[in-house]
Structure 1
Amino acid sequence: MLYPLLFSRPRCVAALCAGGLLLVSCSAPAAPPAIRPPAAIGPDSMVRVAAGPQYMRGAVHQFFWGKHYRKLWAVPVQAPVLNLRTVVPGGLTPTEAGGSFQTKNLRLVDRRGVQFVLRSVDKDATKALPERLRNGPIGRLMKDQTSVINPYGAYIVPHLAQAAGVFHTNPRLVYVADDPALGAFRKEFANALYLLEERPEGDQSGVSSFGRSALVESSRKVFTNLAFNPQARVDARQYLRARLFDMWLGDWSRREDQWRWASFRGAGGATVYQAIPRDRDHAFFKFDDGLLTRIVSWVKSNYQSFHEKIKLRDVEGLNRAARPLDKSLLVYLTADDFRQVADSMRLGLSDKVIKEALAVWPKEVYALAGAEFDRKLRGRREQLPAVAARFYQLLAQEIEIPGTDQPERFVLEPADTGQLRVQVLRLHAGRPDSLINQRTFLVGQTRSIKLFGLGGNDVFELRGLPDHRFAVGIYDGAGQDVVALKMPAGASNQPTNVLVYDSGDGNTLKVAKPIKTQAYVPAATEFDAAGWLLRHRLF
């Protein structure tokens, strides 16, 4: 995330932020105070330390730039000192530093090869800036806006996720001292608070919160398999459950890299993936409580703050980062699916569950935020059915259905007045085609349907003319495809809105008016499986 930037001076100044918005400020952020680590600590002891006392600012600064979670960052809490040599049998060995532009990560491995990760509680988004700007007023303000994050938010998620039926990591709050066991990473990672959690990768058959999957994979590997192999699929209802859980937490940054995928063997040798959300940095985001940050939130509608009510008109912004994922993975679910999942989650996230989750916070954190979070989580829970209905409406408007790089048959058939059934089947030589998935679309919910054959020699079969109120686009992609109109006996021509995009690579078009054809040069994102990965920022 890029926080709003401001060229600050000790007087009223203007600046252009990353989103192109002109801001005016009369408050200059001062340089933060230095943070001193607790003195004389050793392994297996406890420390009392604040996650970020530098984020406490005066009343004028908070008026313009928000109160955010500054009090939580400044309050000292007790945390155990992590002893890398004894935390698990045989100890943990640091192997690799990483992370995003905000979070510092340190990968650790035990003697069996099981991986863990240390994720810094404090963040530093200034790494996204050119080096010359990081230590100036822009960098200071960008660093200051780390206070929009609840430093202990991820800590309460596991209990809530368990009740919601969502996979999760199990973070532990720890303090990393100036430990020689850090080796080459000692200077960079010593003397700070971290969350220690399992790294969802590889064989996780011993971790129940990952479904005890024997193979957990990255989004890039999974979407590559989805695009090349029609026998691979994602458990869409389970993914929807995870996405509604995101919205309940106010977690708006759910790009493809924020997920891992537990794989399981399905019927007929299929591979079924279930979603494992990770990285809860933006859950419980609190941004719009300052004069200037509120102005930014009007323009940057994805910067959604965690309030007691989820504004239905802002559901689109709340889910903008995950839109490519949602459009691909939820395309076959109906309004009833959305309603059923939301209803079951609302019942599962009881008042008792919420209270128990909040009780895991350090007592100092609970004293400051417990009552507020209890109220907000209960209020947002009651909105889950309405939020799910709005989410469905947004996704149903414009549909995109991809094939794979193997041969498929797409069948479009009017089901009733104002309805269109779309089936995708896997083509087999010498035996009947097998159904991959299907859905019936309704006029009034859906206005456009785009079919992408991608690779393979595909067949697009129209069994009658779709209602003209559906704008249907057929994109042939790679391969020599067949597009054919088969009119049922006794059917007559009627207005329709079907456009076949022909790349001219040897396709056979057996259509006539009123179906239209158009020569086109396919974009990379609609040509084949590799191009489809570009839509998901994974190629």
Structure 2
Amino acid sequence: MLCTLLDTSCASPAPKEALAPPTIGPDSVVEVAAGAHYARSRTHKFFWGRHYRKEWATPVPVRVFNLSTVVPGGLTPVQAGGSFQTKNLRLVDRNGVEYVLRSVDKDATKALPPRLQNGPIGRLMKDQTSVIHPYGAFIVPVLAQAAGVYHTNPILGYLGDDPALGKFRKDYANALYLLEERPDGDQSTVRSFGQSAKVQSSRKVFTNLVASSRYHVDARQYLRSRLFDMWLGDWSRREDQWRWASFPTPDSTVRYQAIPRDRDHAFFKFDDGLMTHIIGWIKSNYQSFHKNIRLSDVEGLNRAARPMDKSLLVYLSAEDFRKVADSLRQRLTDDIIRRSLQVWPPEIYALSGEEFTEKLRHRRDQLPAVADKFYELLARDVEIPGTDEPERFVVEPAGAGQVRVRVYRATPNQSPTLIGQRVFNARDTRSIKLFGLGGNDVFEINGLPDARIAIHIYDGAGQDTIRQQQPQATTSNRIVMYNSNDGNTVEVGKAIKVQDYQPAANEFDGTGWLLRHRLY
């Protein structure tokens, strides 16, 4: 039994030698399977899942990439890269526009210590690449365009032993790849990136968001992208899975819009084996692409992106979430779903077409309920960050069980500019944390907000002012001001608790905010 469960060589072993590359004829089309080595015995599939093994093992006709002619003027390889799973090769055309080749097959064993990579654990990790649909990424552009979500435009192809690979020939020849635009820099000619003249990384964008409130993310557009992720079952949406199209605005600010990239974990099918079902129960972020999106699974489905979601969606209301979800549901018609699946080779459509049609239709109709649950999870404990420039935070009652928070840009010698505001209801929210980060911030407490919502104020760096408009009020409430004692002015009554604290590096300053987003 141990052999069956841990050693993938026990049944239908994967070949130790790579398959011989197909013969490339003059028509520049070859028959190739994305991963014939994922075919397994019935016993193995019982324990470790059926997954998309048939799709991996089925040969399909694929065009051959010739780097000298694949785009006008050809492509020149410049840099190898990739994650622990995907092998990437960055290329550039004659105009300096960048592309990337991404391997269709994956190898997660690179994340293991070398001594484990070729043993039973390594072979099992490699085998579980079959949870990913090898051709899933290719249906996304049609769907994303209809949804109003930015996207790359991958092309499937086989790269033979092309001399144009140069020094990369040994490691990258004779494999199946997707070729797509690399969303970076000047993309003013690419409609699917918003024709932005400056596309930036998450590290750069979040650094700017922390530095100044003159940079901001289009929250509704980001929410649309996140609900689209959930529809696809794409649970791996951490910060590095995004690029950002930037757009200067007439009021001298910069607006960012999200560009999702890397759809490797969309349409994930993991829990159809005995052992993988158990693992999926323990690792609840490993969400499988089912016909129904269970509301109890929404938290796990979004765990990787939670720090981003909490920061970037903080000013949106429940009504905003519903409107975006309804818009998506209406745009993603049955005809759009049908058209997207037609990009697959007929051999793959015969295996997956009916299944995906049914699942995408049912999941689409659930989007409003999923959006409600998503809002509920984010509204429970709220974090509102400032920037390293001065801000003014205003907290006040907004009716029974409600608290209003407004945040302004406090520019010297100018009228305050509203950055964002939101009314919170005790039915949804149990705590609100305000983070001053840098700058000389002002925190104003007007009256005594409803005590059913706990409010925590963290001054951060700078010499801040914390004042209460009615300091004589003594009604018990749940407002705590955390004072780092670095020259703050504190003018509050007994109803507000003032607590000394030593700022933690991962919580209360700009650098800590980037650490929170795994970007520092």
Q: What range describes the TM-score normalised by the shorter chain of this pair?
A: over 0.9
Alignment of 1:61-80 (within 5 A): 61-80=44-63
| Range with bigger deviation, 412-421 or 66-75 | 412-421
Q: Given residue 227 of structure 1, which amino acid in structure 2 is its aligned partner?
A: V
In the alignment, structure 1 residue 530 sits paired with structure 2 residue 511: yes
CA shift, 1:43, in A, is: 7.3
In the alignment, structure 1 residue 357 sits paired with structure 2 residue 340: yes
In the alignment, structure 1 residue 382 sits paired with structure 2 residue 354: no
In the alignment, the residues of structure 2 paired with residue 332 and residue 43 of structure 1 have an alpha-carbon distance, to the nearest angstrom, of 58
Structure 1, unaligned runs of 5 or more: 1-7, 14-24
**CA contact 1:43–1:81 (8 Å) conserved in 2:** no
Alignment of 1:131-280 (within 5 A): 131-280=114-263
CA shift, 1:391, in A, is: 0.2
Q: 2:88 aligns with which of 91, 98, 105?
A: 105
**CA contact 2:8–2:124 (8 Å) conserved in 1:** no
Determine the structure 2 residue equivalent to 1:315: 298
Deviations 1:74-118 (A, max 9, x none): 000111100100111211000001010000000000011000000
| Range with bigger deviation, 411-420 or 275-284 | 411-420
In the alignment, structure 1 residue 418 sits paired with structure 2 residue 401: yes
CA shift, 1:493, in A, is: 3.9
Where 2:264 maps in the other structure, the secondary structure is coil
In the alignment, the residues of structure 1 paired with residue 177 and residue 429 of structure 2 have an alpha-carbon distance, to the nearest angstrom, of 46
Determine the structure 1 residue equivalent to 2:494: 513
In the alignment, the residues of structure 2 paired with residue 533 and residue 527 of structure 1 have an alpha-carbon distance, to the nearest angstrom, of 11
- Tell me the TM-score normalised to structure 2 length: 0.98
Where 2:407 maps in the other structure, the secondary structure is strand
**CA contact 1:410–1:425 (8 Å) conserved in 2:** yes
**CA contact 2:233–2:287 (8 Å) conserved in 1:** yes
**CA contact 1:37–1:192 (8 Å) conserved in 2:** no
Q: Given residue 10 of structure 1, which amino acid in structure 2 is its aligned partner?
A: C
- Tell me the TM-score normalised to structure 1 length: 0.94
Q: Given residue 495 of structure 2, which amino acid in structure 1 is its aligned partner?
A: P
Deviations 1:490-518 (A, max 9, x none): x9542210000011111111012111011
In the alignment, structure 1 residue 503 sits paired with structure 2 residue 484: yes
CA shift, 1:274, in A, is: 0.2
Where 1:525 maps in the other structure, the secondary structure is coil
Deviations 1:321-377 (A, max 9, x none): 000000000000000100000001000000000000000001110010000000000
In the alignment, the residues of structure 2 paired with residue 10 and residue 324 of structure 1 have an alpha-carbon distance, to the nearest angstrom, of 40
Alignment of 1:424-435 (within 5 A): 424-435=407-418
In the alignment, the residues of structure 1 paired with residue 466 and residue 403 of structure 2 have an alpha-carbon distance, to the nearest angstrom, of 17
In the alignment, the residues of structure 2 paired with residue 522 and residue 157 of structure 1 have an alpha-carbon distance, to the nearest angstrom, of 44
Q: 2:287 aligns with which of 283, 304, 310?
A: 304
Q: Given residue 253 of structure 2, which amino acid in structure 1 is its aligned partner?
A: A
**CA contact 1:118–1:197 (8 Å) conserved in 2:** yes
In the alignment, the residues of structure 2 paired with residue 92 and residue 26 of structure 1 have an alpha-carbon distance, to the nearest angstrom, of 39
Where 2:243 maps in the other structure, the secondary structure is strand
**CA contact 2:112–2:122 (8 Å) conserved in 1:** yes
**CA contact 2:22–2:32 (8 Å) conserved in 1:** no
In the alignment, the residues of structure 2 paired with residue 154 and residue 200 of structure 1 have an alpha-carbon distance, to the nearest angstrom, of 16
Where 1:246 maps in the other structure, the secondary structure is helix
Q: Which runs of 4+ in 1 moved over 3 A?
A: 25-31, 37-40
CA shift, 1:26, in A, is: 11
| Range with bigger deviation, 491-500 or 92-101 | 491-500
Determine the structure 1 residue equivalent to 2:421: 438
In the alignment, the residues of structure 2 paired with residue 9 and residue 292 of structure 1 have an alpha-carbon distance, to the nearest angstrom, of 12
Where 1:81 maps in the other structure, the secondary structure is strand
Q: Given residue 169 of structure 1, which amino acid in structure 2 is its aligned partner?
A: T
Deviations 1:162-205 (A, max 9, x none): 00000000000010001111011111111111000000000000
CA shift, 1:432, in A, is: 1.4
In the alignment, the residues of structure 2 paired with residue 432 and residue 116 of structure 1 have an alpha-carbon distance, to the nearest angstrom, of 46
Deviations 1:112-148 (A, max 9, x none): 1000000000000000000111111111001000000
Q: Given residue 507 of structure 2, which amino acid in structure 1 is its aligned partner?
A: E
In the alignment, the residues of structure 2 paired with residue 428 and residue 26 of structure 1 have an alpha-carbon distance, to the nearest angstrom, of 63
Change in 2 beyond 3 A, CA 1:405/1:58: same
Change in 2 beyond 3 A, CA 1:227/1:11: closer
Change in 2 beyond 3 A, CA 1:401/1:210: same
Change in 2 beyond 3 A, CA 1:12/1:189: closer
Change in 2 beyond 3 A, CA 1:397/1:381: same
In the alignment, the residues of structure 1 paired with residue 3 and residue 211 of structure 2 have an alpha-carbon distance, to the nearest angstrom, of 58
Deviations 1:418-455 (A, max 9, x none): 11110110112222111111111111110000000000
CA shift, 1:237, in A, is: 0.2
Q: 1:87 aligns with which of 64, 70, 90?
A: 70
Where 2:287 maps in the other structure, the secondary structure is coil
In the alignment, the residues of structure 1 paired with residue 473 and residue 112 of structure 2 have an alpha-carbon distance, to the nearest angstrom, of 62
Give the RMSD, CA atoms, in angstroms. 1.5
Where 1:68 maps in the other structure, the secondary structure is coil
CA shift, 1:407, in A, is: 0.6
**CA contact 1:358–1:370 (8 Å) conserved in 2:** yes
Where 2:3 maps in the other structure, the secondary structure is coil
**CA contact 1:9–1:28 (8 Å) conserved in 2:** no
Determine the structure 2 residue equivalent to 1:120: 103
Where 1:496 maps in the other structure, the secondary structure is coil
Change in 2 beyond 3 A, CA 1:11/1:58: closer
CA shift, 1:415, in A, is: 1.3
Q: Given residue 351 of structure 1, which amino acid in structure 2 is its aligned partner?
A: D
| Range with bigger deviation, 426-435 or 416-425 | 426-435
Change in 2 beyond 3 A, CA 1:26/1:526: closer
**CA contact 1:27–1:60 (8 Å) conserved in 2:** no
CA shift, 1:471, in A, is: 0.7
CA shift, 1:257, in A, is: 0.2
In the alignment, the residues of structure 1 paired with residue 42 and residue 221 of structure 2 have an alpha-carbon distance, to the nearest angstrom, of 45
Structure 2, unaligned runs of 5 or more: none
Q: 1:32 aligns with which of 11, 14, 19?
A: 14
Determine the structure 2 residue equivalent to 1:10: 3
In the alignment, the residues of structure 2 paired with residue 530 and residue 29 of structure 1 have an alpha-carbon distance, to the nearest angstrom, of 50
Alignment of 1:358-373 (within 5 A): 358-373=341-356
Deviations 1:301-332 (A, max 9, x none): 10000000000011000000000000000000
In the alignment, the residues of structure 2 paired with residue 30 and residue 142 of structure 1 have an alpha-carbon distance, to the nearest angstrom, of 16
